[in-house]
Amino acid sequence: MGKVIVTCALTGAQQGKEANPNLPEQPEEIIAQGLEAWRAGAAVLHIHARDAQGKATADVAVFRQIVDGLRSEGCDAVLNLTTGGAVAGLAIEERIRVVPEIKPDIASFSVGGGCLLGRYDQREQRWTRDRFVPLFSSHAELERVARVFLDNGVRPELEVYHSGMLNNIWALRDRGVLSEPLLVNLVMGIPGECTKATVKNLVFFVDGLPPDTQWLVTAIGARNHFRMLGAIVAMGGHVRVGLEDNVYVRRGELAQSNGQVVDKAVGLLRETGAEAASPSEARAILQLRDS
């Protein structure tokens, strides 16, 4: 069994300290928890930035502060900066700036038109968090953004929320605008127009990927987060954990930090007979340049 890359998603663009007071928001908090997650075994750190009020921001200066803070402490983790934040209303032209201005190891790239989110609350008898999150309005716009990654030597982590997005990956690959090996993040379990986190759905997703794709799974929410891990590993994938995706460490118990969540995930990997990849091993697997 090969090494498994553990990604830790530190904070995200939506929930804040109202969901878990330990979720990091300010740069110093994100740096501290990033270092803890790295020391616990995360080879990749997925980074969003927040403003002084704790809201999602695309401010390159805040991203650079986080990156520099991690590197100044000797952190050699692969850094994956988000170009997401559409759910928070940030425009793509703002979000994409981190690619040419910072040139991180990896940056996320949601390869679809958008998703209708929300769930029906039976108790309240109403739809909650009901909205459409727009991503891209055309294939031409997807290709334009893909070329920004390609021109700057940044590996895109292709975010997939439902099976239709797989078609876009194949189309962009055919256009020659995606660097190989492809890196795909299968995001499962978000309420709404996203794929449910089941093993059957995971098999379907993986069967639809181009050859030699490196893939990971983001299983959203406490019910899915750790439950899917065994199937992911058995199928040869990598895993993502962290407070962006799940604020609990076990049923009814809020996580104390991202490091605690990573520590649990690494322990579960060992129970399956797998081992977490080091940052240098992750770079070799993904064929990334040295830090």
Q: What is the pLDDT of residues 233-280, one digit of tens each?
A: 999 999 999 999 999 999 999 999 999 999 999 999 999 999 999 999
pLDDT tens track for 211-220? 999 999 999 9
Per cent of the chain over pLDDT 90 is 96
pLDDT at 1 over 60: no
Q: Which residues contact 167 (CB under 8 A, 6 or more apart)?
A: none
pLDDT digits (tens, 9 = 90+) for 108-126: 999 999 999 999 999 999 9
Both tokens of 128, joined, read 């909650």
pLDDT (tens digit, 9 = 90+) per residue, 156-198?
A: 999 999 999 999 999 999 999 999 999 999 999 999 999 999 9
Residue closest to 109 by CA, chosen among 88, 85, 131: 85
Domains in the chain (CATH in brackets) are 6-286 (3.20.20.70)
CA 52, CA 37: separation in Å to the nearest integer?
23
Give yes or no for residue 291 having a pLDDT over 80.
no
Q: If pLDDT is split at 50, 70 and 90, which confidence band does 289 have? A: confident
How big is the CA angle at 194 (ends 157 and 126), to the nearest 5 degrees? 140
Mean pLDDT, the chain, rounded, equals: 96
